[in-house]
């Protein structure tokens, strides 16, 4: 097999060789990023107004409205825990969290004023959207978590994955203490109630394969598996959209739209059981949010094939934007557990039925290709 060529990095002493052939992000400032994002149309092309469906960037609305709507990206809406409580205790567990985000992409200041006593706070002072792979190499980024103070501080990046995965990390700490397994997995359910759990690292196809027109989506990325079954941690999906087409992935395509749906999250001010995180956007209007994409300044059409900012382009949308979603996001135990791998070098057969020891081996080994959303730490 040909040796993997890497760009200019010596093989480290520990012998691990990373494929860092990805071209680094070209923009270094927000202004540079914005100018990379908007392109192509002749200046005379009329600018479209108003909310539109489909392949159109969020920029079609006013700046004020955009900021308001962006604030409820709801990847943190943590319906999860409400759902989780339904199967576990038949009551409500709310996990209170607030996110202080100086650019108001994920929360707005007026909302924050309502949350003077959250139990868990994420301070996000990131400057630059992009991804978890590139910014470690090009900018100074830190994610600090203090479980005693119940605080997380994210500096140097606006990539929403940091907050999403940051909270997921907190769940990896909290859930085992309750004898619950937190899993980087997607889940869906067939018409006969059979549940499939897709387990895999970033880029292995959890979102893509669980979004299936013939099955009910329970969640695309983060789940808890307890003795009572499966529950989704989020209320939203965070799909990669590089190369997205309506033909290949129609449900994800259609989920990227303007919307006026009711926000599923209400103010949960009372806590039963152990309160930990609190998140509540009180704006009842939301839509999908795109990150790192390139769009036409005048027609506002998104070019999903354009990776000039970064390969890791993202769309986050409320899970209800997928037509066949299971509400609440809970299910019985899975009938089939599928370990996914993005096998860029053809090491594995397309499909293998594993014995229990083989399953344990592949669970631990996590063999997959390094894709752009994965950090050097994970590699």
Ligand X SMILES: C=C(OP(=O)(O)O)C(=O)O
Ligand Y SMILES: Nc1ncnc2c1ncn2[C@@H]1O[C@H](COP(=O)(O)OP(=O)(O)O)[C@@H](O)[C@H]1O
User: Of these, 115, 198, 238, 317, which contacts ligand X (CB under 6 A)?
Assistant: 238
Q: Which does 161 bind (CB under 5 to 8 A by kind): ligand X, ligand Y, none?
A: ligand X
Q: Considering the complex, what minimum distance in angstroms separates the CB of residue 135 from ligand Y?
A: 18
| Rounded Cα gap, residues 84 and 98, in angstroms | 20
User: Which of 96, 118, 126, 161 is in the footprint of ligand X by CB under 6 A?
Assistant: 161
164 binds ligand X (CB under 6 A): yes
Kindly indicate which of the ranges 7-15, 195-203, 273-281, 323-331 contains the residues binding ligand Y, using the contact rule CB under 6 A: 195-203
- 302 token code pair: 């998104």
3-class secondary structure per residue, the chain: CCCCCCCCCCCCCCCCCCCCCCCCCCCCCHHHHHHHHEECCCCCCCCCCCCCCCCECHHHCCHHHHHHHHCCCCCCCCHHHHHHHHHHCCCCCCCCCEEEECCCCCCCHHHHHCCCCCCCEEEEECCCCCCCCHHHHHCCCEEEEECCCCEEEEECCCCHHHHHHHHHHHHHHHHHHCCCEEEEEEEEECCCCCEEEEECCCCCCHHHHHCCCCCEEEECCEEEEECCEEEECCCEEEEECCCCCCCCCHHHHHHCCCCCCCCCCCCCCCCCCCCCCCCCCCCCCCCCEEECCEEECCCCEEECCCCCCCCCCEEEEEHHHCCCECCCCEECCCCEEEECCCCCCCCCCCCCCCCHHHHHHHHHHCCCCCCCCCCCCCC
Query: Of ligand X, ligand Y, none, which one does residue 132 interact with (CB within 5 to 8 Å by kind)?
Result: ligand X
By CB under 6 A, what part of segment 132-151 binds ligand X? Answer: 132
Point out which span in 88-96, 112-120, 161-169, 171-179 binds ligand X (CB under 6 A).
Answer: 161-169
Under the binding rule (CB under 6 A), the answer on residue 221 touching ligand X is yes
Q: Are 164 and 131 in contact (CB under 8 A)?
A: no
Site string for ligand X, 97-136 (x = CB under 6 A): -----------------------------------x----
Interface pick for ligand X out of 74, 185, 368, 373 (rule CB under 6 A): 373
Taking CB within 5 to 8 Å according to partner kind, which of ligand Y, ligand X, none is near residue 208? Answer: ligand Y
CB nearer ligand Y, residue 60 or residue 368: 368
Could you tell which of ligand Y, ligand X, none binds residue 205, using a CB distance below 5 to 8 A set by kind?
ligand Y
Binding status of residue 209 toward ligand Y by CB under 6 A: yes
- Tell me whether the omega of the peptide bond preceding residue 328 falls within 30 degrees of 0, making it cis: yes
Is the CB of 162 or the CB of 320 nearer to ligand X? 162
205 binds ligand Y (CB under 6 A): yes
Min dist. Cβ of residue 156 to ligand Y (A):
23
Least distance in angstroms from the C-beta of 203 to ligand X: 6
Torsion sign over Cα 12, 14, 16, 20: negative
Tokens for 298?
């005048």
Residues 6+ positions from 29 with CB-CB distance below 8 Å: 128
- Are the beta carbons of 294 and 192 closer than 8 angstroms? no
Q: How far is the CB of 340 from ligand Y (least distance, A)?
A: 6
For residue 369, the partner it binds in ligand Y, ligand X, none, with Cβ less than 5 to 8 A by kind, is: none
Note whether 223 binds ligand Y by CB under 6 A: no
Closest by CA position to 93, among listed 276, 287, 351: 276
**Is residue 37 a contact point for ligand Y (CB under 6 A)?**
no
Q: Which stretch binds ligand X (CB under 6 A): 157-165, 173-181, 273-281, 296-304?
A: 157-165
Binding flag, residue 242, ligand Y (CB under 6 A): yes
Residue closer to ligand X, measured from CB, 220 or 296: 220
- Write the interaction track for ligand X spanning residues 242-281; mark x where CB under 6 A is met and - where it is not: ----------------------------------------
Does residue 337 touch ligand Y according to CB under 6 A?
no
Q: By the criterion CB under 6 A, which residues form the site for ligand X?
A: 132, 161, 164-165, 202-203, 221, 238, 373-374
Q: By the criterion CB under 6 A, which residues form the site for ligand Y?
A: 200, 202-209, 221, 239-240, 242-243
């Amino acid at each position: 097999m040909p040796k993997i060529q890497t760009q200019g990095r010596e093989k480290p002493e520990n012998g691990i060789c990373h494929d860092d052939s990805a071209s680094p992000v070209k923009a270094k400032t927000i202004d540079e990023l914005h100018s990379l994002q908007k392109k192509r149309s002749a200046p005379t092309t009329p600018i479209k107004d108003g909310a539109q469906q489909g392949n159109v960037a969020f920029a079609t609305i006013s700046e004020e409205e955009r900021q308001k709507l962006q604030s409820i990206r709801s990847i943190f809406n943590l319906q999860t825990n409400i759902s989780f409580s339904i199967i576990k205790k038949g009551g409500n567990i709310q996990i209170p969290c607030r996110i202080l985000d100086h650019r108001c992409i994920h929360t707005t200041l007026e909302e924050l004023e309502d949350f003077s006593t959250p139990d868990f706070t994420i301070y996000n002072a990131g400057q630059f959207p992009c991804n978890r792979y590139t910014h470690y190499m090009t900018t100074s980024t830190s994610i600090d978590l203090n479980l005693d103070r119940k605080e997380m501080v994210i500096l140097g990046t606006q990539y929403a994955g940091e907050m999403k995965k940051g909270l997921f990390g907190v769940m990896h700490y909290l859930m085992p203490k309750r004898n619950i397994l937190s899993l980087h997995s997607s889940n869906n359910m067939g018409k006969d109630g059979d549940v499939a759990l897709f387990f895999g690292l970033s880029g292995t196809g959890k979102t893509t394969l669980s979004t299936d027109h013939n099955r009910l989506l329970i969640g695309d990325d983060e789940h808890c598996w307890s003795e009572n079954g499966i529950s989704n941690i989020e209320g939203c999906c965070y799909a990669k959209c590089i190369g997205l087409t309506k033909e290949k992935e129609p449900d994800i395509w259609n989920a990227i739209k303007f919307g006026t749906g009711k926000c599923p999250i209400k103010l949960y001010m009372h806590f039963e059981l152990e309160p930990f995180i609190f998140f509540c956007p009180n704006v009842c209007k939301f839509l999908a949010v795109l990150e790192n994409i390139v769009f036409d300044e005048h027609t506002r059409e998104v070019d999903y094939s354009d990776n000039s900012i970064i390969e890791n382009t993202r769309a986050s949308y409320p899970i209800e934007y997928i037509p066949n979603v299971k509400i609440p996001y809970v299910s019985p135990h899975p009938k089939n557990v599928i370990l996914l791998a993005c096998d860029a070098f053809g090491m594995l057969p397309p499909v293998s039925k594993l014995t229990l020891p083989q399953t344990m081996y592949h669970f631990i080994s996590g063999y997959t290709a390094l894709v752009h959303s994965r950090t050097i730490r994970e590699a």
